């Protein structure tokens, strides 16, 4: 097992200054139609017009009217950069059809990184469509207002359904959990292998997976995403993402590849199976992280002790297969992790996982969260310490004879 200790806040966002904008005073909130509105406050002096030419534009007044002028009775929560409101009346969305359900994200004037992410989301996904990706419907760039309008997902985020109050009406049995895993994998495979330039999300986690009325998963929040041209194998970049989900080679060296998303997805599989939070070191009655504890159970021949007791009955062999897929996705060396297309096959087909190829997963932790003491970078002694990059996939599956 590779163990590194690194001090981060749980939300590690890229803090490079916004290239095309400056932040001024706070402005009013923002809105939309019969949906949930993620509201941030932002004023920006300038914006690259080329990024906006292919995006539907919606007026600020239409959005404000749809939320009853951001009345406090419509406020239902607070997002990462601002307040969350519900929409109480329909509105005309420019050239878009009326009466559709949407969600609105507005940016906070106090958030320079939010301003940068506003631009990045438009650049990355304005013309991208896939059943497992949240659709960007339009935006508002008017005066000091910068607002993104998305399709509305009725069941909110996966972390709320999975890790939130047990009083929720959503029951995630194995059929739903496995379908959620597979849907996320298909969305990632589309980003990594079908789009050109490819897209690395950089922040795959439960709170960035939204669920529609039928609990189909959609990947959202592309504010940290990076575009990968076809001839590029990796990018050296500042670290961004969320602790507990960050691949070791990326967290330690800033070397970003698509395998960083694969690692994050592997951790997410374990969260979905266990109903536990990967960012809190409190598994197994100790201060172990979820990945560390899951591997310990695997090594001791007790992998099914990982399963969330709320899941109900489940097919043991299939659950064990998903756990092994999670371990392949979180291998310490990036070149030992599968491609996302391979992950889709491993999750969706009746195949046998060749677990003889499995080595201990790699991870790091925020030492402050575990001990409250000073943070340090530490690597455990193990033979499996290579972080080299490779575009050559490793063979990890075998077809099960019928």
Residue labelled with tokens 């438009």: 122
Residue stretches of the annotated binding site: 105
Residue labelled with tokens 């002790």: 305
The answer to whether 362 and 289 have CB atoms below 8 angstroms apart is: no
- CA 179/CA 185 separation, integer angstroms: 10
Q: Looking at residue 41, what DSSP letter applies? A: -
- CA 273/CA 162 separation, integer angstroms: 10
Residue stretches of the annotated binding site for ATP: 105
The crossing angle, in degrees rounded to 10, of helices 316-329 and 258-274 is 150
Coil, strand or helix at 383: coil
- CA 141/CA 125 separation, integer angstroms: 17
- Within the chain, what is the greatest distance between any pair of CA atoms? 66
Q: Any catalytic annotation for residue 203? A: yes
**255: nearest Cα among 263, 264, 247:** 247
Cα separations in angstroms, 206 against 5, 161, 184, 203, 245: 23, 9, 10, 10, 10
Stated as kind and residue range, the H or E segment containing 145 is strand 145-151
Q: Name the pairing type of β-strands 397-399 and 351-353.
A: antiparallel
Given the residues 33, 50, 159, 203, select the one marked as catalytic: 203
87: its two tokens? 């929409």
The answer to whether 211 and 153 have CB atoms below 8 angstroms apart is: yes
Q: Phi/psi class of residue 205: alpha, beta or left (left: φ > 0; alpha: ψ in -120 to 50)?
A: beta
Coil, strand or helix at 33: coil
65: its two tokens? 């009217």
> Degrees (nearest 5) of the Cα angle 119, 157, 197?
40
- CA 131/CA 216 separation, integer angstroms: 9
The answer to whether 16 and 224 have CB atoms below 8 angstroms apart is: no
Q: Residues near 402 by Cβ (< 8 Å), separated by ≥ 6?
A: none
Would you name the residues annotated as active-site residues? Answer: 203
């Amino acid at each position: 097992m590779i163990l590194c200790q690194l001090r981060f806040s749980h939300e590690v966002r890229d803090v490079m200054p916004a290239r095309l904008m400056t932040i001024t005073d706070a402005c009013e909130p923002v809105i939309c139609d019969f949906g949930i509105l993620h509201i941030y406050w932002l004023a920006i002096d300038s914006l690259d017009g080329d990024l906006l030419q292919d995006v539907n534009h919606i007026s600020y007044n239409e959005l404000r009217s749809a939320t009853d002028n951001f009345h406090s009775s419509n406020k239902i929560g607070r997002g990462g950069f601002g307040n969350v409101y519900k929409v109480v009346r329909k509105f005309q969305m420019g050239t878009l059809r009326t009466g559709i359900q949407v969600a609105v994200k507005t940016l906070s004037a106090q958030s320079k990184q939010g301003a940068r992410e506003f631009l990045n989301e438009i650049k990355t996904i304005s013309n991208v469509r896939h059943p497992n990706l949240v659709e960007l419907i339009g935006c508002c760039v008017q005066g000091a207002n910068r607002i993104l309008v998305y399709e509305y997902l009725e069941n909110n985020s996966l972390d709320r359904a999975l890790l939130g109050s047990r009083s929720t009406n959503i029951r995630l049995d194995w059929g739903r959990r496995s379908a959620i895993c597979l849907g996320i994998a298909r969305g990632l495979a589309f980003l990594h292998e079908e789009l050109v330039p490819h897209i690395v999300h950089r922040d795959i986690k439960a709170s960035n997976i939204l669920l529609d009325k039928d609990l189909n998963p959609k990947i959202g929040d592309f504010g940290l995403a990076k575009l990968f041209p076809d001839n590029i194998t990796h990018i050296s970049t500042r670290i961004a993402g969320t602790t507990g989900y960050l691949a070791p080679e990326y967290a330690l060296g800033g070397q970003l590849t698509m395998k960083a998303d694969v690692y994050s997805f592997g951790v997410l599989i374990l969260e979905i199976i266990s109903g536990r939070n990967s960012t809190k070191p409190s598994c197994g009655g100790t201060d172990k992280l979820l990945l560390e504890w899951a591997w310990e159970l695997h090594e001791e021949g007790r992998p099914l002790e990982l399963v969330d007791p709320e899941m109900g009955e489940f097919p043991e062999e299939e659950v064990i297969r998903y756990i092994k897929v999670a371990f392949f996705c979180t291998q310490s060396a990036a070149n030992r992790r599968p491609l996302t297309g391979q992950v889709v096959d491993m999750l969706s087909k009746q195949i046998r996982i060749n677990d003889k190829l499995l080595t201990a997963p790699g991870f790091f932790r925020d030492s402050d969260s575990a001990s409250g003491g000073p943070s340090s970078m530490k690597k455990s002694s193990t033979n499996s310490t290579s972080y080299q990059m490779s575009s050559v996939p490793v063979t990890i599956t075998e077809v099960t004879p019928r």
